[in-house]
Amino acid sequence: MRDDLGAEVRLSRPVGRVVSLVPSLTEAIARSCPGSLVAVTEWCTHPADLEVERVRGTKNPNVRRIVELAPDLVVCNQEENRRIDVDRLRAAGIPVWVTRIRTLDEAFDSLARLFEIALGVGRPAWLDEAERAWRVPAPKPLRDAVIPIWRNPWMVVGADTFTADLAGRLGLRLVHADRPERYPQLSEDEVRAGVELAVLPDEPYVFTADDGPDAFPGIPVALVEGRSLTWYGPSLVTARATLTDQLAGAFVS
């Protein structure tokens, strides 16, 4: 078997003990393979009642503890996790499946492969629901938008990212997508130049009505659920409707 990056992954069946180092994949696995997760990261907040061991964060997982847990499989993501941690786990004899997701279509394909090939449990029904939810063409005309993910310094969503692809399907054109960086760092003036709509998610930076809109005077601002905008998993079933409603509720501060 080969993961999304083409690395060979040798697995025994059934895959009964799983460690997930990706919050959105944690939610997906908990939904589709209940009881299989033995450890996740501290950032894995969904489902809220998931009671398993925490092995630090996505960028600094406790590799030694993961090895001690002897999982059948560790699930990672190319963007969210570090190559050095993947290499250390594999060197210790732990099978690691790395996903690569930079578009919505890649998310659908990657999730199908994860469940059908790696976990061997078949395609989950919620994945078909999510695909149906996103088949509708994007509204026209597109609005020039910015999606900050951090403040002080300002960092925004750029091209070649899952969130940028999702935004395009919501009728948004990212004004900074012409920059070479996937997450450009901008000055206060740059972040609002040419922007018709500022979309402020509640993660990873927690933008609120009191923190964020003040940087965009006279520009409509939409406060949105970060999970719907950045996670790939069961949240995709409702993400389009949720985000469309939140974008329609944009206000001028």
In this model, does residue 121 exceed pLDDT 90?
yes
Q: What is the pLDDT of residue 253?
A: 82
Q: Are strands 220-224 and 251-252 parallel, antiparallel or unpaired?
A: antiparallel
Same domain, 152 and 76: no
Domain containing 219 — which CATH number?
3.40.50.1980
The pair of structure tokens assigned to 201 is 């998610």
Same domain, 88 and 158: no
Q: Is residue 132 part of a domain?
A: no
Q: How far is CA 97 from CA 36, 42, 126, 133, 152, in A?
A: 15, 20, 21, 27, 35
Q: Are strands 148-150 and 73-77 parallel, antiparallel or unpaired?
A: unpaired
Q: Is residue 137 part of a domain?
A: no
Same domain, 242 and 148: yes
Residue owning tokens 């069946």:
13
The pair of structure tokens assigned to 211 is 């923190």
Last residue of a domain, one of 88, 123, 158: 123
Same domain, 26 and 56: yes
Same domain, 103 and 148: no
Same domain, 106 and 46: yes
Task: Report, as an integer, the average pLDDT of 243-253.
Answer: 95
Which residues 6+ apart lie within 8 Å of 83 measured at CB?
none
Same domain, 27 and 63: yes
Same domain, 159 and 241: yes
Same domain, 118 and 171: no
In this model, does residue 235 exceed pLDDT 90?
yes
Q: Is residue 4 part of a domain?
A: no
Q: Is residue 130 part of a domain?
A: no
Last residue of a domain, one of 123, 152, 185: 123
Distance CA 3, CA 196 (A): 40
Q: Is residue 3 part of a domain?
A: no
pTM of the model: 0.93
Q: Is residue 150 part of a domain?
A: yes
Range of the domain at 68: 18-123
Distance CA 104, CA 29 (A): 18
Task: Report, as an integer, the average pLDDT of 4-17.
Answer: 94
The pair of structure tokens assigned to 51 is 């009671």
Q: What percentage of the chain carries pLDDT values higher than 70? A: 100
Q: In what order do the strands lie in the sheet with 220-224?
A: 172-174, 143-146, 197-201, 220-224, 251-252
Distance CA 114, CA 97 (A): 8
CB 15 within 8 A of CB 117: no
Distance CA 227, CA 108 (A): 17
Task: Report, as an integer, the average pLDDT of 10-18.
Answer: 93
Q: Is residue 66 part of a domain?
A: yes
Distance CA 189, CA 200 (A): 17
Mean pLDDT of the chain: 96
Which residues 6+ apart lie within 8 Å of 241 measured at CB?
133
Alpha carbon 251 to chain centroid distance? 26
Same domain, 97 and 147: no
Distance CA 169, CA 166 (A): 5
pLDDT digits (tens, 9 = 90+) for 140-166: 889 999 999 999 999 999 999 999 999
pLDDT digits (tens, 9 = 90+) for 182-232: 999 999 999 999 999 999 999 999 999 999 999 999 999 999 999 999 999
Q: Is residue 5 part of a domain?
A: no
User: Residue 63: pLDDT band by 50, 70, 90 thresholds?
Assistant: very high
Task: Report, as an integer, the average pLDDT of 105-120.
Answer: 97
Q: What is the pLDDT of residue 24?
A: 97
Number of domains making up the chain: 2
Q: What is the pLDDT of residue 55?
A: 98
Same domain, 159 and 242: yes
Same domain, 26 and 95: yes
